Structure 1
């Protein structure tokens, strides 16, 4: 860090920098072997609430790249499996009646991630959280809210109807499962164009319903800090409590680490490195550590009171304890805390691929064709597939907004 950069810090921020520099902390050496500092200026400003929403706005410039060979391979081979496993497990938790609100938002989140590529290629802006906001608004419309009540003012003039192929599929309107927290948060956008951010939390919700939809952001970048920040920004759109948005950041990093070939120990260590860069990380950090170290006979202790960190902890614990048995893992997660079921399924398949999911479960997956298309398009847009990458013609099915 240069002297000029240090002088840009406030007194409190400088004290924090000195404290972190002098602390006996060992950075995790991951993939490239490069050590990452946990006390740079951007991190300090975020911790103190200054410039903390920079990652939420549309930035001009290069988009984070995925260059790590292991991660590219993992995204191509196992990302689709992780999404399918999450959807299968989500159906199990719902008694087979269709995807829950969290599962549906996952699909709209994947759609929005491809739209973020359109936004970048055509408009030059890097803003997955902005496209994610409108994806959530389309989800709210699919839940039965008329479009004029979803958007208002100038936004309604620009978007008189929802756009894109996913919202045009009538099946997205068939299963209604309103999430009260998300619905109430998104209603504020129609009322006064308000949406959640770090500096202006939309509420103090700490429920788990914002976690699953960030699965696609595991493909966003090589750098766990980028992945964590974007997943947190996504969750902040509807959940203002650190327990919720930090759990979302942790989940996306865990999925990315598993895709790249890491194990659960690696994943939790990397998440711990990211959590210290944010204020109020204690509950999530303690829950994750409890999940990693939980004894098989004491897993039920992780579930109460059912908040986002509990769902994350149960998912980690169950996925480790039943690593070779998807059915047993999903069944146990559903028994302990239903909101953890899809998270555990995603983790297992991110590590093991489609082979870990029983074929007869995949055969019963609803919206399988929709899920497969979304997954293929996310992978193609992020790291490319043989003969398939993002093309300008995609803007018809995946317009920016």
Structure 2
């Protein structure tokens, strides 16, 4: 399997999981079962707009992460260096400011600011609010003086560890086979909006797992190697504990249920979203069943679906994704174009 197929699978898989979970994001498991039966949803269901396959801010921000990385010289080997001397974090933050425009406007605003350039901002389908995270919005409205040393509170929203860091960070693992580089770059860029160490270290861990998968490693090995990497950073304990719990739960055997997924948390914070996504991807050998398990629970269903889908796509490639979910997926052409450019 080549790198491009894994990259394409990662971005498409994340978008599928996002679209599956979006309509039930704010429902409890009891409500999901009441409305859709004991097994919960079994595929896309219509949103309030009456459409299926619609993505949320998770995929929107992931695509702008890709655009930011495409503009940066990631081959420098340093998360602080970038194309023409511009930091990677600066390039990614400018991309997130373009995403913020899609939340504040109904169409591309005039190109009257330095960040308002590029092809992605011209795509009208992105100009739609899909329940964006408060920390992502507020963080981008504040100056970013630069990252703090890893393990210390970041300068923006220092008490926030929402899952908005994790759900957008898979692309950092697609641009390098060096897991430490992926980890540190993702963690630095997560500080643009979320300053709690767990919030940005969980994003780094997610990127590192993806980097290992892109190198052809099995998921369980990728998670264990990432926990080894995590142990070298201050304040890693919450993220390490969440990943350890996910691995242990998947290995315990028996039937894998929404109740087991919920035992890992509600996924509104970064380490819990990462843990649930990892658990579901490890527990179910079927891509389809893993994705459904990752969204049929009380909690942030679109984010856990997105994380699980990113992992499964990077591990198995785009061909493993159910065609019935690929066909109606919103933005598929753009996602595939960006995946090809990134790979």
Aligned to 1:167, what secondary structure does the other structure show?
helix
The aligned counterpart of 2:28 is: none
The aligned counterpart of 2:56 is: 100
Aligned to 2:288, what secondary structure does the other structure show?
helix
Change (3 A) 1:281 1:114: same
Q: CA deviation at 1:299?
A: 3.0
Q: CA deviation at 1:206?
A: 1.0
Equivalences for 1:247-286 in 2 at 5 Å? Answer: 247-286=202-241
- Say if 2:337 is the partner of 1:373: yes
Equivalences for 1:279-318 in 2 at 5 Å? Answer: 279-294=234-249, 295=252, 296=256, 298-304=260-266, 306-318=268-280
Question: For residues 122 and 254 of structure 1, what CA distance do their matches in structure 2 show?
Answer: 23
Equivalences for 1:43-82 in 2 at 5 Å? Answer: 74-82=2-10
- Say if 2:87 is the partner of 1:127: yes
CA deviations on 1:368-399 (whole Å, 9 max, x unpaired) are 111111111111xxxxxxxxxxxxxxxxxxxx
Q: CA deviation at 1:74?
A: 4.5
Q: CA deviation at 1:305?
A: 6.3
Question: For residues 126 and 318 of structure 1, what CA distance do their matches in structure 2 show?
Answer: 38
Q: Which runs of 5+ in 2 are unaligned?
A: 24-45, 48-53
The aligned counterpart of 2:307 is: 343
Q: Which runs of 5+ in 1 are unaligned?
A: 1-72, 151-155, 380-401
- Say if 2:201 is the partner of 1:201: no
Change (3 A) 1:350 1:119: closer
Q: CA deviation at 1:323?
A: 2.3
Question: For residues 124 and 67 of structure 2, what CA distance do their matches in structure 1 show?
Answer: 16
Equivalences for 1:1-400 in 2 at 5 Å? Answer: 74-95=2-23, 97=47, 98-117=54-73, 124-125=84-85, 127-144=87-104, 159=114, 162-189=116-143, 194=145, 197-198=148-149, 200-203=154-157, 204-294=159-249, 295=252, 296=256, 298-304=260-266, 306-324=268-286, 326-336=287-297, 337=299, 338=301, 339-379=303-343
- Quote the RMSD (CA, aligned, Å): 2.8
Question: For residues 86 and 207 of structure 2, what CA distance do their matches in structure 1 show?
Answer: 18
Question: For residues 319 and 87 of structure 2, what CA distance do their matches in structure 1 show?
Answer: 34
Question: For residues 284 and 145 of structure 2, what CA distance do their matches in structure 1 show?
Answer: 42
* Matched-pair contact (CA < 8 Å) for 1:90–1:100: yes
Q: CA deviation at 1:194?
A: 4.8
* Matched-pair contact (CA < 8 Å) for 2:10–2:311: yes
* Matched-pair contact (CA < 8 Å) for 2:58–2:306: no
Question: For residues 273 and 98 of structure 2, what CA distance do their matches in structure 1 show?
Answer: 26
Question: For residues 182 and 146 of structure 2, what CA distance do their matches in structure 1 show?
Answer: 21
Taking structure 2 as the reference length, what is the TM-score of the superposition? 0.79
The aligned counterpart of 1:33 is: none
Question: For residues 234 and 119 of structure 1, what CA distance do their matches in structure 2 show?
Answer: 16
Aligned to 2:168, what secondary structure does the other structure show?
helix
* Matched-pair contact (CA < 8 Å) for 1:109–1:214: yes
Question: For residues 158 and 111 of structure 1, what CA distance do their matches in structure 2 show?
Answer: 17
The aligned counterpart of 2:51 is: none
* Matched-pair contact (CA < 8 Å) for 1:99–1:175: no
Taking structure 1 as the reference length, what is the TM-score of the superposition? 0.68
